[in-house]
């Protein structure tokens, strides 16, 4: 295969990942299948991005589509994956109860998580990893009053959910950004 074939293959894998990730938002049953499938698609994209000596990413608007697919995967794929991790952590509770409890204490978590993944992805792809510290600081400072209030009353596990959700979300976005960075090294993303 030539370098442009690898670029197309990575783009196709990212596109499939976006489709599977979106399907993972539909139900807990779909999440249990789609989240691991999305992880495998991202892993396959990373392997094909890193395996050859060079990968030719299309230029111009095709490059924007390539980076956009990875960004969409970062945002869309992180939600079902994070929810699946919460399901695994809270095995004794039904998945709906676990997410409902987290949603009650940490309102807007899906939106905040999506924005967090988008910002993480953007800072890494643009070559500004220091921005990740700003993203995490803003999230921590913004959630601090809710976490403090939740922990002062009944033990809700909100702080643990916050930490687990943040780590899963940020690591997922880093993986998606990593595929873009590895694929576009030397050619720039603009």
**For the chain, domain boundaries:** 3-184
Interval 67-107: pLDDT, tens:
999 999 999 999 999 989 988 887 766 655 555 655 555 66
| Per-residue pLDDT, 188 | 47
Residue 155 pLDDT > 70, yes or no?
Answer: no
What is the CB neighbour count within 10 angstroms for residue 135? 20
Residue 26 is given by DSSP the state S
Which three-class secondary structure state does DSSP give residue 63?
Answer: helix
CA dist., res. 110 & res. 57, Å (int): 31
- Under 8 Å between Cβ of 70 and 179: yes
Q: Which residues contact 83 (CB under 8 A, 6 or more apart)?
A: 28, 31, 35, 95, 99
Helices (H), 106-157: 109-125, 130-152
Most confident of 109-113, 128-132, 138-142: 128-132
What is the CB neighbour count within 10 angstroms for residue 113? 24
Distances from the Cα of 70 to the Cα of 51, 138, 149, 170, 175, angstroms: 18, 24, 37, 14, 10
CA dist., res. 114 & res. 78, Å (int): 7
Helices (H), the chain: 3-23, 28-50, 61-89, 95-105, 109-125, 130-152, 158-184
- Under 8 Å between Cβ of 52 and 98: no
Who has greater pLDDT, 147 or 127? 127
Query: Among 166, 178, 173, which Cα is nearest to 75's?
Result: 173
Interval 23-54: pLDDT, tens:
999 998 999 999 999 999 999 999 999 987 77
pTM: 0.86
């Amino acid at each position: 295969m030539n370098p442009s074939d690898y670029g197309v293959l990575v783009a196709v894998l990212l596109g499939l990942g976006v489709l599977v990730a979106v399907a993972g938002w539909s139900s807990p049953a779909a999440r249990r299948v789609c989240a691991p499938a999305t992880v495998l698609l991202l892993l396959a994209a990373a392997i094909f991005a890193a395996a050859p000596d060079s990968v030719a990413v299309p230029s111009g608007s095709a490059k924007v589509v390539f980076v956009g697919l990875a960004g969409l995967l970062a945002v869309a794929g992180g939600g079902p994956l994070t929810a699946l991790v919460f399901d695994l952590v809270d095995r004794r509770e039904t998945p709906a109860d676990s997410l409902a409890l987290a949603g009650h204490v940490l309102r807007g978590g899906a939106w905040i998580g999506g924005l967090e993944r988008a910002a993480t992805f953007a800072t890494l792809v643009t070559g500004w990893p220091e921005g990740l510290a700003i993203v995490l600081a803003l999230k921590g400072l913004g959630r601090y009053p809710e976490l403090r209030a939740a922990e002062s009353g009944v033990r809700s596990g909100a702080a643990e959910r916050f930490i687990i959700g943040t780590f899963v979300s940020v690591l997922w976005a880093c993986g998606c950004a990593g595929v873009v960075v590895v694929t576009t090294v030397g050619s720039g993303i603009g």
